[in-house]
Amino acid sequence: MSVSGGGGPPSLLLVEDDEVIRKTVAMTLERYGYAVSAAGDGLTGLELFRDGRHDLLVLDVMLPALDGIGLCRRVRESSVVPILMMSARGDSLDVVSGLEAGADDYVVKPVDTAVLVARIRSLLRRAAFTPPAPPAERSPEPADARLVFGDLSIDPQGLEVCRAGEPVALAPTELRLLLEFAVNPGIVLDRQTLLRNVWDYGWDGDSRVVDLCVQRLRKKIGTDRIETVRGFGYKLLR
Amino acid sequence: MSLLSPVRRLLNWRSLRWKIAALTAAVACVVTAAVGVLAHRVTYEWSLTTGQQDAFRELDDAAAAYRKNGSMKDLSDLEEVPASMLRPMWEGDTFFWYDDRKPEEPWMWAGRVVDGEPLVVQVSMGPERRSLQALDRHIVMVALAALAVAVPLAALVAELPNRRLRRVARTARRIAEGDLDARIGADGREGDEIAEISAAVDSMAGSLQRWLLSEQRFTADVAHELRTPVMGLMTAAELLPDGEVTDLVRDRVRVLRILVENLLEISRLDAGAERADRVPVPLGEVVEESVRRTGLQATVTVIGAPVAETDPRRLDRIVANLVINAHRHGRPPVEVLVDGTTVVVRDHGPGFPDELLTHGPQRFRTGAAERGRGHGLGLAIALGQAGVIGAELTLANAPEGGAVAVLSLPRSARRG
């Protein structure tokens, strides 16, 4: 199930400065069968990330040397690996800047072990994304056909997105969000539906996650492709 | 609606614009009237003087003619002149009489005794009278024309301070609604009272924002400092081998965690920094889900398929706190009813204590002998969150016993 394609357990990189949390979370995740490497500050975290292949990053926001947001941005320069931010402050500034920096999701400390593991699983599932059945079923074209929206073409089978012929690198969440739009072209999708279908959240989900992911997606596929329908949600223009 | 509002604003007769215009009109009327009366008066006097000069000349001519050849031609009838007016003549002087018995055709009479014979002449004052009337008409017309220019001009000029004042009001409203970045941005060049109030509002918004930011930063820092050890404690407790002592530790850690979260929530609510993130929400679904997540027994009845525009996460906090409170301090069965935009949570226990009903929920005061069962923050949080989403939360006791909490969400502003 790991994107690295290796046979072993999914490998996680945990960057957290609080020693107790770092140790206990690492031990907990190991109990759940993940291979965990841990770092106590941002720079060590970045080194570890560059040295090995990781299927998912769990980053604390407040870190010495290089903070979680900076680290997230640095990782995003070269990788689309899923990133889960952990913030103890939980105020909108932390959440928004984390998501803007390219994180796929965030949790506020203290987080229940069960919740943390569920979020990690959900993110890994998105990353190891197998083509969804809906596009093939709903699309009148053959299953292997590319979905084309203006200069954007999406291959729902090969999970490739091209803009004007150039391939676009999308993070797993962005890709899944785009596919959700692509199977419902021209239809307004509200934030709750997107939260449920893409992030596996119920009503307790934070709709800013959706807004910020849409923003990131727009930067990559063109700002006009996804239209905001005020008070309702978003839709993909044909 | 927004298209009509400028029209409505223009038609608001209590607007400063129309008051200034009315004042201008009144001042213009008074000034014109004074100038008009003066001009009328002066012209009238002047026409009398001219009339007397004309009559005097006429009289001289008549006297000369009389002296030369005894001609009494063109003389007027002495009998028509009132006796009192003739007195100067009998005393050897010249008399003048302005005869306005027929107002539309007044005459100026003059007479004097020449060689023992009273000579009396009259000249018509009609042309003077008509030119005076024409002058009056002109004054009125010019005054009306001036008003027609001055009043709209005053209204137009008043529009400038009006606009600045409206901007002040608009900005103040935006600040009240939570947009603390809103500023009037007066550059103070005008140096008038409006610039002063603008600067005052701006500086008020500035200090409010600074205060709120430092409050938010403080709460966030406190949150960080408290949550970090709690999280370590939580995950460490999870790793302990199962057993009776472990259960005790985990339970206390759970209580500590809830207390920390509640305190942080209360302080955020107190700081007034919380803003609702409103979306259209299927009420029944959200309420059912938050009741389910409490893990407590409660029957949920939903009438119809109500949709409210509200913040689902805050609504969840309110409903969960009410259900938890009902279980902790009341007795089952706990019933939750969703009817329209109203959510009712009731239990069948002893009801809310009288003190709570009269003074509202007091923090850390759980009433009577219930100490140790909860921290008495749940209701305060529910009330605070209700305030943030603009809902009304009323607490009461049912006549047949049991506590009743009624949450009335505001009706959707945009659509039903």
Q: Which residue in A has a C-alpha nearest to residue B320's C-alpha? A: A204
Contacts of B285 in chain A (CB under 8 A): 203
Predicted structure pTM score: 0.61
Instruction: Give the model's pLDDT for residue A144.
Output: 54
CB-nearest to B316 from A25, A91, A204 is A204
Contacts of B229 in chain A (CB under 8 A): 20
Contacts of B235 in chain A (CB under 8 A): 20-21, 24-25, 28, 113
Q: What Cα–Cα distance (Å) separates residue A107 from each residue in A87, A119, A236, B72, B147?
A: 6, 8, 28, 126, 70
Give the DSSP H or E segment for B396. Answer: strand B392-397
Instruction: Give the model's pLDDT for residue B248.
Output: 93
Task: Name the residue with higher pLDDT: B269 or A58.
Answer: A58
Q: Report ipTM (2 d.p.).
A: 0.72
State the nearest Cα–Cα gap between A144 and chain B, in angstroms: 37
Task: Determine whether A64 is exposed, middle or buried from the number of CB atoms within 10 Å of its CB (0-12, 13-18, 19+).
Answer: exposed
Instruction: Render each residue's pLDDT in chain B as its tens digit; 416 residues.
Output: 455 677 777 777 788 888 888 888 898 889 888 998 999 999 999 999 999 999 899 888 888 888 888 777 667 777 788 888 888 888 888 888 888 888 888 888 888 888 888 888 888 888 888 888 899 999 889 888 888 888 888 888 888 888 888 888 999 888 887 777 888 886 667 778 888 888 888 898 899 888 888 877 787 788 788 888 999 999 999 899 999 999 999 999 988 988 888 888 888 787 776 777 777 788 888 888 888 888 888 888 888 888 888 888 888 889 988 888 888 888 888 888 888 888 888 888 887 887 778 877 777 766 554 544 555 788 888 888 888 888 888 888 888 888 888 888 887 654 43
Strands A147-149 and A152-155: antiparallel
What is the strand order of the sheet A35-39 is part of?
Answer: A35-39, A11-15, A56-60, A83-87, A105-108
Work out how many CB contacts closer than 8 A connect A with B. 84
**H helices present in B240-311, as ranges:** 244-271, 283-294
How far is it, in rounded angstroms, from Cα B110 to Cα B279?
A: 97
Under 8 Å between Cβ of A128 and A1: yes
How far is it, in rounded angstroms, from Cα B173 to Cα B151?
A: 31
How far is it, in rounded angstroms, from Cα A89 to Cα A109?
A: 8
**Cβ contact, residue pair A24, B232, below 8 Å:** yes
Task: Determine whether B7 is exposed, middle or buried from the number of CB atoms within 10 Å of its CB (0-12, 13-18, 19+).
Answer: exposed
**Cβ contact, residue pair B224, A18, below 8 Å:** no
| Interface with A, mutate which of B215, B216, B231 (most A CBs under 10 A) | B231
Place A22 in a pLDDT band, splitting at 50, 70 and 90. Answer: very high
What is the strand order of the sheet B403-408 is part of?
Answer: B299-303, B335-339, B342-346, B403-408, B392-397
State the nearest Cα–Cα gap between B12 and chain A, in angstroms: 33
How far is it, in rounded angstroms, from Cα B284 to Cα B287?
A: 5
Instruction: Give the model's pLDDT for residue A30.
Output: 93
Under 8 Å between Cβ of B59 and B113: no
- pLDDT tens-digit map of A107-159: 888 888 888 998 898 888 877 765 554 444 444 444 556 778 878 888 877 77
Place A44 in a pLDDT band, splitting at 50, 70 and 90. Answer: very high
Q: Which residue in B has a C-alpha nearest to residue A32's C-alpha? A: B239
Helix, strand and coil in chain A, % to nearest 5? 40, 20, 40
Single out the residue of B46, B43, B177, B66 nearest to residue B119, CA to CA.
B66
CA A66, chain centre distance (Å): 21
Contacts of A28 in chain B (CB under 8 A): 235, 238-239
Question: For chain A, what percent of residues have pLDDT higher than 70?
Answer: 86
By residue count, chain B amounts to: 416
CB-nearest to B414 from A25, A111, A231 is A231
Contacts of A204 in chain B (CB under 8 A): 289, 293, 312-313, 316
State the nearest Cα–Cα gap between A204 and chain B, in angstroms: 5
Residues near A65 by beta carbon (within 8 Å), at least 6 away in sequence: A41, A42, A43, A44
CB-nearest to B279 from A62, A108, A191 is A191
Instruction: Give the model's pLDDT for residue B41.
Output: 92
Per DSSP, B79 falls in state G
Domains and CATH numbers, chain A: 11-127 (3.40.50.2300), 133-236 (1.10.10.10)
Quickly tell me which residue has 């109500």 as its tokens: B306
Instruction: Give the model's pLDDT for residue A12.
Output: 93
Q: Which residue in A has a C-alpha nearest to residue B226's C-alpha? A: A88
Residue A2 confidence (pLDDT) above 60: no
CB-nearest to B235 from A25, A88, A93 is A25
